[in-house]
Amino acid sequence: MAERLLTGTRIRNRRLDRKLRQVDVAARVGISGSYLNLIEHNRRRIGSTLLARLAEVLEVDVAALEDEAAAAITTPLREAAAAFPQSGIDGAQAEDVVARFPDWAALIAAQHARIAQLTERVEALGNRLTHDTQIAASLHEVISTATAIRSTASILVESPDLDGDWLRRFHGNIDGDSARLAESSQALLGLLDMDSGAPQAETTAMEQAEALLAARGFHLPGVERGEAEDWPEAPDGVVAQILSQWTEGYRRDAARLPLAAFAPAARALAFDPARLAARFDVPLATVLRRLAQLPASDGTPPMGLARCDAAGVVTFQKPVLDFRLPRSGAACPLWPLYQALTQPGRAIRAVARLPGAARTPFECFAIAGPVGAVGFDAAPRVEAVMLVRPARSDAQPQTVGPGCRVCPVEDCASRRQPSVL
């Protein structure tokens, strides 16, 4: 089978599903049966007008027969299959599902995207409840104010013969504390607002920059061609500065590993980072970053990336499937990203699996080392890089969690604090 199903193959599969003869379909669209046979075997290109007529006869949306539309649905189907390996579904059959059942394929892709969105919101809320100082301060304010109101009310109940001046004073305290409680409660509600009808707002400049980069698929075609990359949608100077730094790093990686040479080599070497580093004689960290910058296609597996500094704080991440690290630096220390910090220069490969319903196994490649200029009078700046991609279902993974407070794994030697679960 070809690397992906082409338009002709989709037309043939749809015709067979409709139990239509090739000669009958050809007659209805006004072409010969032999010409339709060449189209179905991808030996003739098909124009938009003829494709529209074929879609009408086959009773299918024309977009479902086009390569671009099918590719947009095929990738989420593969991700869904990888996220639920216990289902026994082969991700390689995604193209056939899209070709034969385009409407069902679109529904599965939409549901997978919705599950990923809800999972991300739950993890974000758990992370914020644990580490967001604003939430902690607002919650403390609510509790303190409620306690003050309760104390004042108790005095009024237990002392019915209070002097008029004291009574007015206590009533004033209750009125002021009640107003303060309303304000702090509204502030806390705003911080915890997880309205499903609105997208989750990015709270930091780093998250805003990552969201803008994600909107471009973490791939910058202009930079690949040596052109400048503009970010007119950047909300403020800090976000624009972060994007500028990332773009410059992207430019350096693209110059060392041009896409025209790197992408075919990556496919030929099965996306093996070590073999690619040896082929192009570049540091392994450069290859890991470059693999995560490849454009999405049927031949490229979904790959995520995480980078952190010597303190373990995540400075960049490209999520994939249910892989996402918390921003606070309090993620599970069992991830190879953090293990690499203790062994600079050593390449680490491991298979990790997240707990939960999906139990997705990830193949992880990580390495840490100094970055930037090196001087005798300054400590080196160390950075760890980790590439993650779905692993084979028969791999033997180690279970890792997102963070202790939202991790259900029991009897973990690396646990710092009890889980809220």
For the cut 90, the answer to whether the pLDDT of residue 296 exceeds it is no
Residue 244, φ and ψ in degrees, nearest 5? -65, -40
The Cα–Cα gap between 304 and 388 comes to: 5
Percentage helix, strand, coil for the chain under 3-state DSSP, each rounded to 5: 55, 10, 35
Q: What is the DSSP string of 243-307?
A: HHHHHHHHHHHHHHS-HHHHHHHHHHTTT-HHHHHHHHT--HHHHHHHHHTSPP-TTS---EEEE
pLDDT band at 163 (very low <50, low <70, confident <90, very high): confident
Torsion of CA 272, 274, 280, 286, to 10 degrees: 90
For the cut 90, the answer to whether the pLDDT of residue 305 exceeds it is yes
**What is the average per-residue pLDDT within 5-26?**
83
pLDDT in tens, 230-266: 888 777 678 888 888 999 999 999 999 999 999 999 9
**What is the average per-residue pLDDT within 142-154?**
85
313: helix, coil or strand?
A: coil
Structure confidence at residue 37 (pLDDT): 84
For the cut 60, the answer to whether the pLDDT of residue 358 exceeds it is no
Residue 76, φ and ψ in degrees, nearest 5? -60, -35
For the cut 50, the answer to whether the pLDDT of residue 120 exceeds it is yes
pLDDT in tens, 264-288: 999 999 999 999 999 999 999 999 9
Long-range CB contacts (within 8 A, 24+) of 333-338: 333/414, 334/398, 334/400, 334/401, 334/414, 335/306, 335/364, 335/366, 335/386, 335/400, 336/364, 336/365, 336/366, 336/386, 337/306, 337/308, 337/364, 337/366, 337/384, 337/385, 337/386, 338/308, 338/312, 338/384
Q: Classify burial at 68, counting beta carbons within 10 Å of its beta carbon; exposed 0-12, middle 13-18, buried 19 or more.
A: exposed
Structure confidence at residue 348 (pLDDT): 94
For the cut 50, the answer to whether the pLDDT of residue 412 exceeds it is yes
For the cut 80, the answer to whether the pLDDT of residue 83 exceeds it is no
Q: Which residue has the higher pLDDT, 70 or 277?
A: 277
